[in-house]
Amino acid sequence: MKLKTKLIIAFMIVMIFPIALTTAAIAIMRKPEIVELQQVFLLVVFMTSVLLMYWIYRTVSVPLSKLQKAVRNIKEGNLDFEIHADADDEFGQLCQDFDEMRLRLKANAEEKQETERENKVLISNISHDLKTPVTAIKGYAEGIMDGVADTPEKMDKYIRTIYNKANEMDLLINELTLYAKIDTNRIPYNFTTISAIEYFRDCADDLSIELESKGTKFEFRNYIEEDSKIIVDPEQMRRVINNIISNSIKYMDKPQGKITMNLRDVGDFVQVELGDNARGIAAKDLPYIFDRFFRADSSRNSSKGGSGIGLSIVKKIVEEHGGNIWATSVEGEGTTMYFVVRKYQEVPIQ
């Protein structure tokens, strides 16, 4: 039964009772002068009931039809249909809750769209980035098959190029696998409390050997207290440093590469600064370098391989450590990456 029908029936019942009662009273008392009074009384009852029914009808039916309209819109996929709740009763509250639900659905739908868009970009980037080394491998292999590599030197060069290109693909695939794992939180972190200076000095020692062998200058400066401790997953933190340094090497355009590593004490955190004198990042690109799949235009067009996910992995790991990462850069001069790791605070036992 519809709400309207129910209200009409209720109205009839409200009307029938006083009519029946007053008619019965008149019939018993047999006083005709009361008839006029009865008519006034009935009119008042009638008017009151009409107003009452209208009031109930409006407070229930108006928000209900608004809700109905909103539900229909949502069902049809229109999540922009706003529902205005002006009443401060239960129906107003219901409309408000409903609108909140709509906003959440809308946010979810937008997030899903964004993820889909990113996935499409990822697929096209991966295809592009894998295609480049595959094309080179095919070309050099064909060269060998056709006998173009007719001297041992040429043969050596061709095979080396094939090997290097295959390595490039391997790196890219590893980065993607790691990214997929990190993004779905499938990497277990093994946090331990260790001495900050010992840990980062070890990293610096390894970097120094690796970089100096490539002809890149490396300097390490420590400004923190010896006893500062940090909570880190040593393996993942190494990944952060390696990824940042590999960018510095990859985007190096100076004949003499210089990389620096500074450790600073910034209150509750230890700050690590990794600076380079590579080609730098344009101010317009700087805010986006930690976004997944972002590569500055020039790096996308350059022959340097890369998926644009290295720094997004770095950011994710630093954030999982309760830290933060940012960068400053001067185009043509170099870049400095800063990140902070929370210090371990010993709680005194009382």
Ligand X SMILES: Nc1ncnc2c1ncn2[C@@H]1O[C@H](COP(=O)(O)OP(=O)(O)O)[C@@H](O)[C@H]1O
Q: Per rule CB under 6 A, is residue 269 in the interface with ligand X?
A: no
Given the complex with ligand X, which of 170 and 198 has the nearer CB atom? 170
| Residues near 207 by beta carbon (within 8 Å), at least 6 away in sequence | 218, 220, 241, 245, 259, 261
Cβ(245)–Cβ(237) below 8 Å: no
What are phi and psi for residue 130, nearest 5 degrees? -85, -30
Task: Retrieve residue 59's tokens.
Answer: 């407070």
Smallest gap from residue 278 Cβ to ligand X (A): 4
Decide if residue 295 touches ligand X (CB under 6 A): yes
Q: Of these, 182, 207, 270, 281, which contacts ligand X (CB under 6 A)?
A: 281
- Give the position of tokens 């390696």: 242
Report the residue number, 143 or 306, with the smaller CB distance to ligand X: 306
| Least distance CB 333 / ligand X (angstroms) | 10
CA–CA distance, 283 with 330 (Å, rounded to integer): 8
- Selection from Mg ion, ligand X, none that 197 binds (CB < 5 to 8 A by kind) is none
DSSP 8-state secondary structure symbol assigned to residue 37:
H
For residue 77, the minimal CB distance to Mg ion (Å) is: 39
DSSP 188: P
* 326 contributes a contact to ligand X by CB under 6 A: no
Burial class (CB in 10 A: 0-12, 13-18, 19+), 216: buried
CA–CA dist 316, 322 (Å, integer): 10
Q: How many residues bind ligand X (CB under 6 A)?
A: 21
174 CB-side CA count, 13 A = 8
143 counts as binding ligand X under rule CB under 6 A: no
- For ligand X, the closer of residues 66 and 300 by Cβ is 300
Residue 182's binding partner out of ligand X, Mg ion, none, with CB under 5 to 8 Å set by partner kind: none
Q: Which is it for the CA torsion 207, 202, 173, 178, positive or negative?
A: negative
Q: Which residue lies nearer to ligand X by CB, 101 or 123?
A: 123
Stretch that binds ligand X, among 80-88, 133-141, 233-241, 244-252 (CB under 6 A): 244-252
Asked if 296 interacts with ligand X (CB under 6 A), we say yes
Residue of 293, 295, 281 whose CA lies nearest to 326: 281
- Contact call for residue 248 and ligand X (CB under 6 A): yes
Residues 64 and 60: their CA atoms lie apart, in Å, by 6
Q: How far is the CB of 311 from ligand X (least distance, A)?
A: 3
The answer to whether residue 306 forms part of the interface with ligand X (CB under 6 A) is yes
Cα–Cα distance for residue pair 88/196, rounded to 1 Å: 57
Write the interaction track for ligand X spanning residues 87-116; mark x where CB under 6 A is met and - where it is not.
------------------------------
169: contact with ligand X by CB under 6 A:
no
- Does the protein bind ligand X through residue 318 (CB under 6 A)? no
Choose the contact partner of 294 out of ligand X, Mg ion, none; CB within 5 to 8 A by kind. ligand X
Nearer to Mg ion, 98 or 251 (CB): 251
CA distance 130 to 133: 6
Q: What CA–CA distance (Å, rounded) separates 205 from 247?
A: 19
Q: Which two tokens stand for residue 293?
A: 């799949």
* Contact with ligand X (CB under 6 A) among 294, 326, 338, 344: 294
Cα–Cα distance, 141 to 125 (Å, whole number): 25
Q: Which is nearer to Mg ion, 270 or 309 (CB)?
A: 309
299 contributes a contact to ligand X by CB under 6 A: yes
Report the interface residues with Mg ion, using CB under 5 A: 247, 310
Is the Cβ of residue 224 or residue 281 nearer to ligand X in the bound state? 281
CB 260 within 8 A of CB 277: no
307 near ligand X, rule: CB under 6 A: yes
State CA 108 to chain mean position distance. Answer: 11
**Binding-site ranges for ligand X (CB under 6 A):** 247-248, 251, 276, 278-281, 289, 294-296, 299, 306-312, 335
